[in-house]
A and B are shown apart, each in its own frame.
Chain A
Amino acid sequence: MAVASKYLPGAKQAHDTHHEEEDHKQYLMFDPKPRGEMNAMVMESMHTTSWKFWVVFGILSVIVAVCFFYAWGYMIAEGLWVAGVMRPSYWGIFLVNTVFWIGISHAGTFISAILRVFKAEFRRPFTRAAELMTTFGLIQAGASIFMHMGRVWLSYWMFPLPNERQLWPNFHSPLMWDLLAITTYVLGSTMYLFLPLIPDLAMARDRSTGWRKTFYKILALGFRGTEGEWRHLITAMNFFAFAIIPVMFSVHTIVSWDFAMAMRPGWSSTVYGPYFVLGALHSGMGAVAVVLFIMRTTMKHMDYFIRKEHFDALGKLMLMVTFAYTYFFFNDYIVQWYGGDVATDNLLHWLEEGPMAWMFFQMVAFNIIIPPLLLWSKKIRQTPWLLALIGIMINVGMYWERYIIIPVTLSINRMPFTWKLFEPRMDVFLTIGTFSMFLLFYMLASRLIPLIPVWEVQEGQMAHSLRKVGKAHVPTLSDFE
């Protein structure tokens, strides 16, 4: 084509190579800066803290203290009656939060592991931001599970430890699978967050003084960047990238099995596993968009690292995930709809015509109908605030989805005499508490941890070059491995 084009009338004979380079400059990988400069930018972004940050931080701290710690303590002391749970919705908002946060956590793994495996280069600047979401999201998910328990002070009875009660936990129970899977995932994703962080911590160590120096020194573990260290690290990261993907899939699948294994109308569905995984990615991608937007707008120098191209790529991912999610949603829905089982019929009747129908249809609109309509447009994809808005919308939709699956679906069962609609009570405060805590952790992390994996960016920039093919310069990616 390039050969033919020069014979076309009006085709430019001489390429403006300079302009072409400018074109490529919009991509981070073709806009390299010296490593030292990038380091300085990242360090500065951590150190530049405005008073607004502290105001928000203070407010969030108060909310966490009241809505998380105090409210939880009160609930432990008083019993779960302060929450909205009852017969038949024995599970309420706490498990909605659990599923939601586990869903959010999937984004980090997806971006840093799957995209790493497939060498999707746009991932480089925001893998860490996404992985932090995984870890912090899982902390909230775990806390929500414990909030949900009636006797949380005995939760250690679920751990497979030798004990004087001479009993081991019941491995028939999906909750035990859940416990093991989430433990694996929390540990795995935290380690996977930490490994690529070591070189950046070493970088920060080299540029800090005072308490930060000590902090980074301890965390960097004495990393210097010798060939051996890199080799071990890369090997481990490659292993993690591959190994954490099945763990990630297993976690949300097992979470879905908590529901799917139960013999309840609406829950007992074989498609729940992949449906939940896709749902998780759906909300996770949306959350990443929000986080990137906030990072880019509030932190110094982030517009260098996080660019329109990243939002565009994320938007495409979101679009793809939306379609996949839609597929599974429909797959789940039509089987239930067509089956005609009395209990399921009652349930669908309830969902679509009952008092929570607004939530059901909002969920469909937010998750399935609106995102693809908007995400088709490159312009919208490349507008960070719009993408963030879509991300928030998807997350609201996904929260509704979990809310519908847990308390609203639980309202209907095989005993019509017990049907009852769930009313959220103090669980609302605790939900606000977990959200605030997530944000608080993130804010804290943004001051302490280099949110941009500088060495990965530099590695990418080294690997990218423009190669002249005919008259055009085309981006080229070298494989150093």
Chain B
Amino acid sequence: MTTIADPMGFLLFTKGPLFNIAIAIFALGLAARLAEILLLGRRPNFAEPRAGEWLPGLRTVVTRTLPDPGTFKRAPFNVLTGLIWHVGFLVALLLFIPHIELIKGLFGVSWPGLPNPFVDLVTAVTLVALAATLVHRLTHPVKKRLSTIEDYLIWAVTFLVVLTGYLAYNRLINPYPLALGLHILTAELFLILLPFTKLTHIFTVFIARWYNGASFGRRGVQS
């Protein structure tokens, strides 16, 4: 049956077999990707270190979340829209109660959520900020030059995940099983694409920041 004719069938397909396929591809792809990185490792470093690596590495993992004041002054729009939508996306992903239930179902861990209207507002802001990042990508000479088809694909998938979530929550697509099914479907697309595209940065960013912080930290610089 088609999606329109059988929305509940569509929802159950996305919640059942497709979810399993998506999570399997995600887990496989991500584990492969992380193994690729971590097993490559680093060559031994014989230079006398000025300081340790672990703490500076961990510090950089945290501190790179916010820009230095100079960069913020030079690229406030880029920095702000990026920060806003990332924070919004994470709030919606991790603090929306239905999502917490999903994570609890998957991994057995849970935490307190935020009131739905607050998450709803955050989601709306996230959508606006995401739209702004697209405009910025299409207009700023550097981003225009850097961007590949993959960048636009990833933007589209990310935007659609948030948009369908917003539409489903606000029940702007009817019937609801169709709306929820579309949201789950786009989220699964996101999961499937994650290990094979730059979406991997969600996980590798911690490794990259750590390597950076460790390398600078070893030389006595807080990076």
Interaction A to B: no
Interface of B with A (CB < 8 Å)?
none
Interface of A with B (CB < 8 Å)?
none
